[in-house]
């Protein structure tokens, strides 16, 4: 395992291919400091003695080498691994107050580990061996990876092969003796400018005309032909008054302008039916990660609401307690459903454990449809101050500070400095560039609620529920009643 300073050093050595605000910038440019600090936390949490008791959650034993590795690089070998991944996600998100940025990588490696094995079984290819060889180095070097799944997609109702421009979905444009060349662009790719690898995989089910779009591979972020057009944001917290961070995000439109990928890093190439399975499986793993990060985000918002109530002297009011209980129900329902998804996991042919489809999707959908409501509760209890809080410089200016100390005072049990710190932080998490991004991420990251609905309805046996109703109504039903879960994960890939 490496330290955060080694991670930062690696970033500083990467080839310049990041564009932001009209300029070509370095991978460790100060505008991305917030996002870099987030990824650094995934290394620092392991080395921080405060988290010693969580070592089993934050690290794992590699099934390939037997060595201790960062759990973000691990392939789930058991139900316990899935539960640990969920806990690690919630714990690490708490440290940065939002997305932890490495779950895309762990979810993409797990999906690849399952599907590469299945493709080989059907076609006699050697994707799984290649994938494991690449993974060994990835684990050994404690690397980070973004997952580039979402294609730019052009006109939504049209399939990849129906688009006016075939590059609107990433596809293979040339096959050479030593590898393939891919072209296209992926969008919203989180943390990609400040991670080392991009794992490219398909975004949707594919038809038999769509073999060239069925591609999965690993590409160094600074590879020739890769260009990243980045949008980054930062939480402007009160650093001068001791707040950690700053933390932030960096999402990119990633362009693959005829990028060569050697065979050693190609994990799917043309087997279209497995392209769709890989897309769905990555989404499934990612929604399971959301059963850790969404509760963490709700914990942050619940804590912020309680803190605002205390600052305002209203923490004992009945409506405040009712709203806090509502938020707790959202976080714990999502988390509990994630636990159920792990407990009902099944072992795939490769040995990798796959979480339950219905429970993962129910959790992710529930979190997605509640996200704006949580911000609604926070802003209700906070009042308007997070929106109009005077700048930190005015709090520190001796001329204006006495007035702010006098007129910003609220609950006498909370010091004026803590009132300032609390409102500054709540402004950052609820009323900033990054807060807007977190809200959109809460809806669409890992798939929009509509996609979860499709997954739920595709796996849930509504007929069985109808039969329960029919029996109770006295309508004859064929077959014997047997108690069974209604959303059964099939013993296959889909
Ligand atoms: C902050 C953030 C971070 C993200 N990070 C990543 C990442 O790291 N990696 C990654 O791969 N992706 C990432 N995503 C992408 C995310 O998975 C997508 O935003 C999500 O799948 C929705 O896709 P879209 O944004 O293209 O919206 P669209 O697909 O355009 O959806 C817009 C609306 O159109 C509807 N719609 C779309 N297609 C159809 C159709 N054929 N028929 C009918 N209705 C349709 C949708 O249901 C939705 O209501 C991220 C997104 C956000 C916001």
Q: What is the pLDDT of residues 286-316, one digit of tens each?
A: 999 999 999 999 999 999 999 999 999 999 9
Q: What are phi and psi of 414, to 5 degrees?
A: -115, 125
Position 487 scores a pLDDT of 62
Position 81 scores a pLDDT of 98
419-468 residue pLDDT tens: 999 999 999 999 998 999 999 999 998 888 888 999 899 888 898 899 99
Residue 248 host element (H or E): strand 248-262
Tokens linked to 115: 């599907």
pTM of this prediction exceeds 0.85: yes
Position 242 scores a pLDDT of 85
Q: Please check whether residue 292 is in contact with residue 338, taking contact to mean a CB–CB distance below 8 angstroms.
A: yes
Neighbours of 226 (CB within 10 A): 21
Looking at ligand 1, which atom is closest to the CA of residue 451?
Answer: 47
ω before 51 within 30° of 0 (cis)?
A: no
- Ligand 1 mean position to 246 CA, how many Å? 28
> Is the pLDDT at 410 greater than 70, yes or no?
yes
Q: How far is it, in rounded angstroms, from Cα 331 to Cα 296?
A: 7
- Ligand 1 mean position to 450 CA, how many Å? 10
Tokens linked to 105: 């990588």
Residue in 106, 195, 448 to alter for ligand 1 test, most ligand atoms within 8 A of Cβ:
448
Position 492 scores a pLDDT of 42
Q: Please choose, from the candidates 250, 111, 108, 259, the residue with its C-alpha nearest in 3D space to the C-alpha of residue 189.
A: 250
Q: Please check whether residue 145 is in contact with residue 105, taking contact to mean a CB–CB distance below 8 angstroms.
A: yes
**CA-proximal residue: ligand 1, atom 1 (nearest):** 441
Position 233 scores a pLDDT of 87
Q: How far is it, in rounded angstroms, from Cα 58 to Cα 78?
A: 15
Spell 347-360 as b/e; 16+ CB within 10 A means b. ebebebbbbbbbbb
- Ligand 1 mean position to 188 CA, how many Å? 9
219-277 residue pLDDT tens: 999 999 999 999 998 887 777 788 898 999 999 999 999 999 999 999 999 999 999 99
**CA-proximal residue: ligand 1, atom 16 (nearest):** 445
**CA-proximal residue: ligand 1, atom 29 (nearest):** 156
> Is the pLDDT at 494 greater than 70, yes or no?
no
Q: At what angle do helices 33-47 and 79-96 cross, to 10 degrees?
A: 130
Position 488 scores a pLDDT of 56
Count Cβ atoms within 10 A of the Cβ of residue 8 and give its class: 0-12 exposed, 13-18 middle, 19 or more buried. Answer: middle
**CA-proximal residue: ligand 1, atom 30 (nearest):** 156
191-214 residue pLDDT tens: 999 999 999 999 999 999 999 999
Looking at ligand 1, which atom is closest to the CA of residue 149?
Answer: 11
Looking at ligand 1, which atom is closest to the CA of residue 150?
Answer: 11
- Assign domain 282-456 to its CATH superfamily: Butyryl-CoA Dehydrogenase, subunit A, domain 3 (1.20.140.10)
Q: Please choose, from the candidates 179, 248, 267, 168, the residue with its C-alpha nearest in 3D space to the C-alpha of residue 434.
A: 248
Give the residues surrounding ligand 1 with Cβ less than 6 Å away.
104, 146-150, 153, 156-157, 188-190, 251, 437, 440-441, 444-448, 450
How distant, in Å, are the alpha carbons of 306, 411, 449 from that of 313? 10, 5, 37
């Amino acid at each position: 395992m490496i330290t955060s300073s080694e991670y930062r050093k690696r970033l500083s050595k990467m080839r310049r291919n990041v564009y932001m605000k009209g300029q070509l910038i370095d991978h460790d440019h100060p505008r991305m400091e917030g996002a870099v600090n987030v990824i650094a936390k995934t290394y620092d949490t392991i080395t921080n003695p405060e988290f010693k008791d969580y070592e089993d959650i934050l690290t794992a034993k590699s099934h390939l080498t037997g060595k201790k590795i960062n759990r973000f690089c691990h392939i789930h070998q058991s139900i316990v691994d899935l539960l640990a991944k969920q806990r690690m996600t919630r714990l690490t998100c708490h440290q940065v107050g939002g997305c932890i940025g490495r779950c895309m990588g762990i979810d993409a490696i797990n999906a690849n580990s399952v599907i590469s094995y299945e493709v080989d079984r059907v076609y006699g290819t050697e994707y799984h061996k290649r994938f494991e060889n690449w993974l060994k180095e990835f684990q050994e070097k404690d690397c980070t990876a973004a997952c580039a799944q979402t294609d730019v997609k052009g006109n939504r109702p049209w399939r990849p092969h129906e688009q006016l421009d075939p590059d609107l979905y990433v596809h293979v444009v040339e096959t050479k003796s030593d590898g393939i060349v891919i072209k296209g662009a992926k969008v919203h790719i989180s943390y990609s400018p400040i991670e080392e690898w991009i794992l490219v995989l398909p975004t949707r089910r594919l038809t038999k005309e769509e073999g060239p779009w069925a591609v999965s591979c690993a590409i160094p972020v600074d590879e020739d032909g890769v260009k990243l057009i980045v949008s980054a944001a930062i939480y402007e917290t009160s650093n001068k008054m001791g707040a950690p961070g700053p933390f932030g995000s960096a999402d990119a439109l990633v362009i693959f302008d005829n990028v060569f990928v050697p065979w050693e890093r190609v994990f799917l190439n043309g087997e279209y039916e497995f392209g769709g399975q890989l897309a769905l499986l990555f989404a499934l793993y990612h929604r399971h990660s959301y059963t850790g990060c969404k509760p963490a985000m709700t914990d942050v918002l619940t804590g912020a609401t309680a803190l605002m109530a205390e600052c305002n002297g209203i923490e004992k009011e009945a409506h405040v307690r009712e709203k806090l209980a509502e938020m707790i129900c959202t976080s714990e329902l999502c988390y509990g459903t994630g636990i159920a998804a792990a407990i009902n996991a099944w072992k795939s042919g490769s040995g990798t454990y796959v979480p339950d489809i219905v429970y993962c999707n129910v959790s992710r959908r529930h979190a997605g449809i509640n996200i704006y409501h949580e911000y609604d509760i926070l802003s209700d209890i906070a009042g308007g101050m997070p929106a109009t809080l005077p700048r930190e410089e005015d709090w520190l200016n001796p001329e204006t500070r006495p007035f702010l100390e006098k007129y910003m005072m609220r609950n006498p049990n909370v010091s004026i400095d803590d009132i300032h710190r609390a409102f500054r932080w709540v402004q950052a998490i609820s009323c900033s560039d990054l807060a807007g991004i977190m809200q959109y991420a809460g809806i669409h990251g890992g798939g929009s609620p509509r996609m979860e609905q499709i997954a739920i309805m595709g796996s849930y046996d509504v007929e069985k529920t109808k039969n329960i109703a029919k029996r109770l109504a006295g309508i004859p039903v064929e077959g014997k009643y047997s108690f069974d879960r209604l959303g059964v994960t099939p013993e296959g890939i889909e």
